[in-house]
Amino acid sequence: MKGSCLCKAVQFEIINKIPNLYQCHCSLCQKATGTASSFSFITSPDNIRWISGQKNIHSYTDKNGFRTDFCKSCGSPTPNIMSFGHYLWVPAGLLEGVTGSQVTAHIYLNSKASWENETNHCLSLSTGPDDIKQFIEQLNKP
């Protein structure tokens, strides 16, 4: 299965079956992704074939060893070798197509963002909003 960053400068292929996913709610993943959590999987570094853009990847390592790699052009997180062990971390949102995998774990729930709630009561659209002004009004209703 192929994957890429937003601008497609970084492209790769996962050679074997995609493992099941996990959702990490830690504050570091929140900062690295700009979202409430990251959806990703862990695999062997031998399970990736880089197609293009490895020179376009920049790394940041926090003082505690947390590492994030990202595309220098668009900022998308990219696969990276984890700081502990011989494992490859892959953001699931980079994959193109249906993986056949499922989320089987949630971790760091103690760090879960305070605004991350169940979405049963939320407005749900199968596509983007037709009218942005009306959508913004709906977002701000009590």
Please tell me the predicted confidence (pLDDT) of residue 82: 86
Please tell me the predicted confidence (pLDDT) of residue 43: 93
- Does 127 reside within a domain? no
- Does 123 reside within a domain? no
Instruction: Report the predicted TM-score, pTM, of the whole model to 2 decimal places.
Output: 0.86
- Does 131 reside within a domain? no
- Does 21 reside within a domain? yes
- Does 139 reside within a domain? no
For the chain, strand residue ranges (E) read: 2-4, 11-14, 21-24, 38-43, 48-52, 57-61, 67-71, 77-78, 80-81, 88-91, 103-107
Which of 114, 99, 88, 86 shows the shortest CA–CA distance to 3? 99
Q: Which residues contact 4 (CB under 8 A, 6 or more apart)?
A: 10, 11, 12, 94, 96
Structural domain total, the chain: 1
- Does 43 reside within a domain? yes
Domain that holds residue 40: 2-113
- Does 41 reside within a domain? yes
Average pLDDT over residues 20-49: 92
Which of 5, 3, 31 shows the shortest CA–CA distance to 15? 3
Provide the CATH number for the domain around residue 14: 2.170.150.70
State yes or no: pLDDT of 124 exceeds 90.
no
